[in-house]
């Protein structure tokens, strides 16, 4: 079966094209040896079946992030029959260098100029036939958001994959690269000129490959000689050469548009004051009103309070107690920690509406093009904690699910930045369910909500600044494509929301069942009460009652589980407003959930993860003690 690889920079429309080609026949899996996800689907193109890969965004064959490395590895290890290179037509001069690099692989390529509708509004002019002639590959125009160009692309895919010979790799390499390629004798999955260039750039993966293939001392001396000739600036020189070649190809064929086609809102969001106002508005409407009040308030009351509390749970409990004679099984299914009465009630009655509303808001922000602007606007603030604007994406995703966000930290350039982001995600970025429940509880006393926001934000900034000072290394430079603001399409938003909810519940339903069973077993063997007793003195020192110890244990198994337990206690009147505030702050800063901790160990290693967990634990309780003194709460 023929294979297609959709390749291009981030935010150019690859995923939209992937959906047009594959529909719902999609599988998502981690690339072997990594946690980077690759989407694979089946496409039917005029009766012919194709395997389609939606690759992570890349800017060059010289990878900076793990996503770029995975895309290159896919092209090397599983060379597709055809590369579909999707670019943003408005920014063609910045994206054409990658086209030239992909051509050097010798694989058939179709260049797709996507977002032509936006380019036309900005009066961008591209001489497509002449560009195709200069490049020697098919060049198509498209606007996949509207479905424009999909059929033309399918026709071209058929033509390019029906017995046409592979393209000859373009011979554009500098002399030092050609001489280095001539030294090589081994067998490589990509053309030797590409191997030689990446070798000279000190690409660690390619260096390992060359050392494995080249055993001859003569070859080693030849390679070392060329390396000395190339010098330390060779990567910059090679990149500059490719960009200059792209400019020469586009000379007379591309005319940039003007900012006159951009709306006032487009420019307003990039203004410091405008960016602040828009961000406040987004937080108020998106997180407070939609997620906090509507999702965690109205919808939770309907689902958990009425549907589960008054209809489903009583029916289940009655059925279980009537028809199951075994006490242990009754308790396991419908007891205090029952799979049905606790696990499923939390998952569908409390977590479902909050996660659903958050993913809806996040999809709206994605499709409007606001998130890159948020990254641009917050870049200077991120600099104070050792990160750049790119870190906004995983940190924002952490408001949905911390486990998923830790995986996305792979998009950050350096290990130092990944450690800082992982620490902050574990410490002060609540997941959507936890955030929604806490906002719903504290919003009844706006002063408490303001104190909670100030405490969590202040500790977030304090911890980031300390890490920035003490962790060795420098802040990576920031660059990110800024797409124009767009009117989101409801159909696309709903599809993204449902797809993410499907992924989320496939992950959490087994976890909730395991947590319920684990809590049941721990209670039966007496360990749950013993663990709660260990926490009781710490909680008492913060003015909190002992029954909250179980809530914190829930929070370790699953953050949203803990928040739901806090929700139950407050609604039952077992804690006061001041105690709720202290508990909300400490629970937000408390240990990451078990799933997030497991991913941290896999991503950052056990020693770094243990150091993060210990630091977070101490900071959380230190904040609780300080807040208790500030509120004048007596110890218990």
* Tens digits of residue pLDDT in 119-149: 888 889 999 999 999 999 999 999 987 889 9
In the numeric block, which tokens belong to residue 174? 């500098």
Would you state the pLDDT for residue 456? 93
Q: Which phi-psi region, left, alpha or beta, contains residue 309 (left: φ > 0; alpha: ψ -120 to 50)?
A: alpha
Phi and psi at residue 48, in whole multiples of 5°? -105, 135
Alpha helix stretches (DSSP H) within 391-526: 392-397, 402-408, 415-428, 432-442, 446-470, 490-524
Phi and psi at residue 69, in whole multiples of 5°? -65, -40
Can you say whether the dihedral through the CA atoms of 167, 193, 140, 82 is positive or negative?
positive
In the numeric block, which tokens belong to residue 398? 């952490």
- What span, in angstroms and rounded, lies between the C-alpha atoms of 64 and 415? 11
In the numeric block, which tokens belong to residue 138? 């098919």
User: What would the pLDDT profile of 577-592 be if each residue is shown by its tens digit?
Assistant: 888 899 889 988 988 8
Query: What number of other Cβ atoms are within 10 A of residue 20's Cβ?
Result: 18
Three-state DSSP at 393 gives helix
8 Å CB contact between 488 and 367: yes
- How many angstroms separate the Cα of 377 from the Cα of each of 278, 280, 285, 509, 625? 11, 13, 19, 37, 35
In the numeric block, which tokens belong to residue 443? 């919003």
Helix or strand (DSSP H, E) at 612: helix 606-631
- What span, in angstroms and rounded, lies between the C-alpha atoms of 420 and 351? 28
CA 159 to chain centre: 36
In the numeric block, which tokens belong to residue 48? 């012919």
- Helices 559-571 and 548-557 pack at an angle, to 10 degrees, of 150
What is the reported pTM? 0.68
Please enumerate in sequence order all residues whose Cβ is within 8 A of that of 498, keeping only pairs 6 or more positions apart, or say none: none
Can you say whether the dihedral through the CA atoms of 309, 349, 435, 613 is positive or negative?
positive
At CA 97, angle to CA 176 and CA 482, rounded to 5?
Answer: 140
8 Å CB contact between 103 and 217: no
Q: What DSSP string runs through 85-120?
A: EEEEGGGHHHHHHHHHHHHTTT--EEEEEE-HHHHH
- What span, in angstroms and rounded, lies between the C-alpha atoms of 526 and 410? 41
8 Å CB contact between 386 and 471: yes
CA 428 to chain centre: 17
Length in residues, the chain: 636
Contacts 24+ apart (CB under 8 A), 339-343: 339/513, 339/516, 339/517, 340/313, 340/316, 341/313, 341/316, 341/317, 342/516, 342/519, 343/512, 343/513, 343/515, 343/516
- What span, in angstroms and rounded, lies between the C-alpha atoms of 64 and 379? 19
Would you state the pLDDT for residue 149? 92
Would you state the pLDDT for residue 57? 85
Please enumerate in sequence order all residues whose Cβ is within 8 A of that of 244, keeping only pairs 6 or more positions apart, or say none: none
Coarse DSSP helix, strand, coil percentages of the chain, rounded to the nearest 5 percent: 65, 10, 25
- Helices 192-200 and 175-183 pack at an angle, to 10 degrees, of 110
User: What would the pLDDT profile of 293-341 be if each residue is shown by its tens digit?
Assistant: 788 778 878 887 788 878 888 888 888 877 777 777 777 777 766 777 7
- What span, in angstroms and rounded, lies between the C-alpha atoms of 199 and 165? 28
Residues (pLDDT < 70) of the chain are 24-37, 163-172, 258-264, 336-337, 342, 346, 404, 476-483, 503-504, 507-508, 511-512, 515, 557-558, 560-561, 595
What is the DSSP secondary structure assignment for residue 41, as one 8-state letter? E
Phi and psi at residue 196, in whole multiples of 5°? -65, -45
Can you say whether the dihedral through the CA atoms of 341, 342, 344, 346 is positive or negative?
positive
Alpha helix stretches (DSSP H) within 572-605: 577-589, 594-604
- What span, in angstroms and rounded, lies between the C-alpha atoms of 629 and 543? 9
């Amino acid at each position: 079966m023929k294979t297609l690889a959709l390749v291009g920079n981030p935010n150019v429309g690859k995923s939209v094209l992937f959906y047009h080609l594959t529909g719902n026949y999609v599988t998502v899996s981690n690339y072997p040896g990594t946690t980077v996800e690759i989407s694979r689907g089946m496409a039917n193109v005029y009766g012919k079946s194709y395997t389609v890969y939606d690759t992570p965004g890349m800017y060059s064959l010289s990878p900076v992030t793990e996503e770029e490395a995975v895309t290159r590895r896919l092209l090397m290890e599983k060379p597709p029959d055809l590369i579909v290179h999707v670019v943003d037509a408005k920014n063609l001069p910045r994206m054409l260098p990658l086209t030239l690099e992909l051509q050097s692989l010798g694989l058939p390529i179709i260049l797709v100029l996507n977002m032509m509708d936006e380019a036309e509004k900005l009066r961008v002019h591209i001489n497509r036939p002449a560009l195709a002639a200069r490049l020697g590959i098919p060049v198509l125009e498209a606007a996949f958001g509207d479905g424009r160009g999909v059929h033309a692309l399918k026709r071209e895919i058929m033509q390019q994959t029906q017995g046409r010979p592979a393209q000859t790799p373009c011979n554009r390499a500098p002399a030092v690269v050609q001489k280095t390629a001539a030294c090589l004798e081994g067998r490589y999955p990509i053309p030797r000129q590409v191997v030689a260039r990446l070798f000279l750039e000190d690409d660690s993966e390619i260096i390992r490959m060359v050392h494995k293939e080249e055993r001859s001392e003569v070859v080693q001396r030849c390679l070392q000689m060329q390396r000395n000739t190339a010098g330390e600036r060779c990567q910059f020189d090679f990149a500059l050469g490719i960009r200059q070649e792209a400019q020469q190809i586009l000379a007379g064929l591309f005319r940039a548009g003007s900012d006159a086609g951009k709306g006032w809102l487009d420019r307003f969001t990039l203004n410091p004051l405008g960016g602040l106002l828009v961000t406040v508005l987004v937080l108020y409407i998106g997180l407070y009103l939609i997620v906090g009040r509507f999702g965690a308030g109205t919808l939770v009351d309907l689902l958990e309070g009425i549907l589960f509390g008054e209809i489903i749970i009583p029916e289940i409990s009655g059925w279980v107690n009537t028809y199951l004679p075994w006490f242990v099984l009754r308790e396991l299914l419908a007891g205090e920690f029952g799979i049905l009465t606790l696990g499923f009630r939390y998952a569908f009655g409390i977590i479902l509406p909050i996660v659903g509303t958050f993913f809806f808001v996040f999809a709206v922000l994605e499709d409007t093009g606001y998130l890159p602007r948020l990254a641009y606007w917050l870049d200077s603030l991120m600099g104070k904690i050792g990160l750049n604007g790119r870190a906004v994406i995983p940190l924002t995703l952490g408001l949905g699910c911390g486990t998923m966000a830790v995986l996305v930290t792979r998009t950050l350039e350096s290990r130092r930045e990944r450690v800082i982001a992982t620490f902050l995600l574990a410490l002060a970025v609540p997941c959507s369910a936890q955030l929604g429940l806490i906002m719903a509880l504290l919003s009844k006393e706006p002063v408490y909500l303001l104190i909670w926001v100030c405490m969590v934000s202040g500790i977030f900034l304090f911890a980031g600044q300390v890490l920035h000072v003490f962790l060795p290394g420098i802040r990576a430079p920031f660059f990110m494509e800024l797409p124009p603001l767009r009117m989101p399409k409801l159909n696309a938003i709903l599809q993204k929301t449902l797809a993410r909810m499907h992924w989320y519940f496939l992950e959490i339903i087994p976890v909730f069942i395991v947590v319920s069973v684990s809590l049941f077993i721990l209670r039966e063997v007496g360990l749950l009460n013993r663990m709660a007793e260990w926490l009781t003195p710490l909680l008492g020192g913060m003015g909190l009652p002992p029954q909250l110890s179980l809530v914190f244990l829930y929070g370790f198994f699953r953050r949203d589980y803990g928040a739901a337990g806090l929700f139950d206690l407050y609604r039952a009147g077992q804690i006061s407003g001041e105690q709720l505030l202290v508990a909300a702050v400490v629970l937000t800063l408390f240990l990451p959930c078990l799933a997030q901790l497991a991913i941290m160990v896999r991503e950052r290693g056990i020693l770094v993860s243990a150091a993060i967990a210990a630091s977070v634990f101490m900071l959380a309780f230190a904040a609780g003690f300080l807040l208790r003194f500030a509120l004048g709460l007596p110890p218990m």
